[in-house]
Structure formats: structure tokens, C-alpha cells
Structure 1
């Protein structure tokens, strides 16, 4: 008895998320089909022109916008940014540096510092526990 393995596939929304692009901006054939693992790997290894263009100029999905602005996705929402933005719009926001963006960047910096502090504290505790156990 032979088993037939079906190729792994993913929905276009999942593939777009993993590729870091806004699904609605992708070509219709990408949005309407399913993406196999081999097709996905090919898109990553040798991105077609449309994918390179989306990555370069957008519109970008919220996680990409947040990363480019140095804020959290929640920070975007608090700042009133709910739609995908192009690279040009992101650059304009960085240049304008509205008060909400400055505040959210400061918040994000504090979060990163706290994460590092907790990681170091846990490492120290683990080292002490190892020392006590030996």
C-alpha cells in the first residue's frame, strides 16, 4: 500500500503575512489560489517584480508599518493609523514626527529595556540555581 503525500499548501493570506506584504495589493492570481510550500520557497528565494515592488514601496501591512516606525501595532492604533501605508507615507510620518509617534517610540524603547532587564535577571537566577545545585 502506497501513501500519497499531498503537498503542503497555505492560504494566500498566510503566505502574504509570511512574505510581509499586504494581501489586497498582491496580484489577483496570488489572492485567488493556494500557495504550495515549494511556490512559497521560490517566492522567497527569487521574488518576482511585483513582490519586490510591494516590499520596497508598499502598501505595507500593519506589522511592517509598526516595525518601520519603531512602534508596536497597538501604538499604531493609538496613533490613529489603521490602514496600510506606503513607504512614502511612512517616511513622511518619520519626518513630521507627530507627538503620538514620539511618545510610542519612547514607550517601545522602555519595553525593550525592560525585556533586556528581565532576561538578564532570569539568567542570573539560573546561574545561581546551577551554582547551588552543583
Structure 2
């Protein structure tokens, strides 16, 4: 008995998200079709010129913008950034950060520190539990 392996496919929006690019900036043939898992893998391992260009210069989707600015997607929204930004726009914000960006970066830093603290506490509790009640 042989098993027939079906080809996995995804919507262009899902593929764009996995590739870290803004869907509306991709070529029409990408937006209008479906993308198979094999095609996605090929795009990731050997990106065509349009994909390299989008990754380098944008416009970038909000998750990429947030990561490059060191803040959260919610922080972008609070700062009034609702549209995709290009690499040049992101760099301009980094060079001369507005008050909202400074505030959001500080908040993000606090969140990371608190996450580290909680993880260390959980790890210590797990180690104490593993050592048993006599330890």
C-alpha cells in the first residue's frame, strides 16, 4: 500500500506573512495564486529579486516594523503608525525617535525584563520540585 501525499498549499496572505513581506507590495502573480509548501521553501532558500528587494527596502508589514523599531505592534498603533513603512522611514524614526517611540521602547524593555524574571523564578521552582521535599 502506498500513501498518496497531497501537496499543501496556502493563501498568498499566509505565505507573505511567513516570508515577512507586505502582501500588497508583492507581484500580482503572487497575490492572485496559491503557494505550495514547496514553492514557499524555494522562495525562502533562493529568494527572487522582488522578494530580496521587499525584504531590504519594504514596504514592511507591521510585525517587521515593530521588530526593527524595538517595540510591539500595539505600540506602533499607540504611536499612530498604522501603515507599512519602508526601510528609510524606519531608519528616520530610529535616528530621531519621537516621544512615543522612546516610551514604547522603554515599555518593551520592561516587559522583556519581567519575562526574564518570571522565567528564572519558574525555573528555580521547577528545580526545587525536582530535588524533592528533602532538599
1:6-40: CA deviation from partner (whole Å, max 9, x where unpaired): 20000000000000000000000000000001100
SS at match of 2:39: helix
CA distance in 2, matches of 1:105, 1:68: 11
TM-score, with length taken from structure 2? 0.95
Moved more, 52-61 or 4-13: 4-13
The answer for unaligned runs of 5 or more in structure 2 is none
Task: Give the aligned partner of residue 74 of structure 1.
Answer: 74
The answer for unaligned runs of 5 or more in structure 1 is none
When the two structures are aligned, how many residues end up with a matched partner?
A: 134
SS at match of 1:30: helix
Q: Give the direction of change, closer, same or farther, for the CA distance of 1:32–1:133 in structure 2 (3 Å limit).
A: farther
1:71-114: CA deviation from partner (whole Å, max 9, x where unpaired): 00000000000000000000011111100000000000000000
Superposed CA RMSD in Å reads 1.3
